[in-house]
Amino acid sequence: MLIKKSSDIFSSEITPEALWQNRRQFLQSTGLAMGLSALPFKSFAQSNITLQKLSSVKSKYVTMEKITPFESATTYNNYYEFGTDKADPAKKAGTLISRPWTVTLEGACNKPHTIGIEELLRLAPLEERIYRLRCVEGWSMVIPWLGFSLSELIKRAEPTGNAKFVEFITLADPKQMPNLKSSVLEWPYVEALRMDEAMHPLTLLSLGSYGQTLTNQSGAPVRIVVPWKYGFKSGKSIVKIRFVEKQPKTSWEKAGPSEYGFYSNVNPAVDHPRWSQATERRIDASSTGINAFLTPKRKTLMFNGYEEVASLYTGMDLRKFF
């Protein structure tokens, strides 16, 4: 198991010192709120994102691996509402308006309601959880997410016994998201988990990363992070959470049912029809864009290394239920 469960470890203790000090100096220099003019990253030059420093408590969920640099993690993204090229979200997501924002909980629950982003920020103590993110295309990152277990929000809605699955629905506004005119996917973007997956303590409701609120291209202002599944299972810019009885069809299932199954657990033994999933490339400061193909490969771990979720799938054929 690669996750070290210790309440005494922060990213400052596991990130190379120079990187951590640079990040801390950057955050301290910005104060509590900062506009784009203060950002040293040219990729945000045309964005209207407002980044705010968030406080967090110690978390038992960390990995000892090197954290992906902030600039790499925010300029090499999948967010098809803004384009299909990895650089598109950073260039185009400045049109996303992340305040005000609400998330509606509905469906098979006793307490359907709508909650605002500021209330979400106060719902539970934010933890810095350093999770690996493995994408289906074969690249991976290590990101210090900020948030709390999704179960904290789900419990407020009091799902009924009929709630077997949880749907996550992303904002779909053509005025803010230029690629909604394309037919690459059916909009709005929909993802889903089985209820026990959604309630697992590793499943994160993320409100930030790198000590700040989420950047637009990272899924501002609220997203899901399911670290043992491929990245597309972690829906961005969530506006609705729906509790349902029957297994829903997700966006990628509809687009390519032979390539993207409902479960989408990281499984090196199950290849994508067009490429192997046995290895991956870790994104770092020198491996974005065309250079990503020059990064040495590493073995892909079952469940992305999160062995504690294996019991969720006892008795299941994970080749059939891919």
Residue 23 lies in a domain: yes
Residue 318 lies in a domain: no
- Total domains in the chain come to 1
> What is the CATH number for 289?
3.90.420.10
Residue 53 lies in a domain: yes
- Rounded to two decimals, what is the model's pTM? 0.85
pLDDT digits (tens, 9 = 90+) for 34-53: 332 233 333 333 344 457 89
Residue 88 lies in a domain: yes
Asked whether 192 and 250 are in contact (CB, 8 A), the reply is yes
Range of the domain at 218: 3-313
Asked whether 43 and 216 are in contact (CB, 8 A), the reply is no
Residue 57 lies in a domain: yes
Residue 252 lies in a domain: yes
Partners of 204 in the β-ladder = 149, 225
Residue 321 lies in a domain: no
State both tokens at 146: 């900020």
Comparing CA positions, the residue from 257, 268, 254, 259 lying closest to residue 302 is: 268
Consecutive 10-residue runs of the chain (322 residues): their mean pLDDT? Answer: 39 36 35 31 40 89 93 95 97 97 98 98 96 96 97 98 98 98 97 98 98 97 98 98 98 96 97 96 72 79 98 97 96
Residue 320 lies in a domain: no
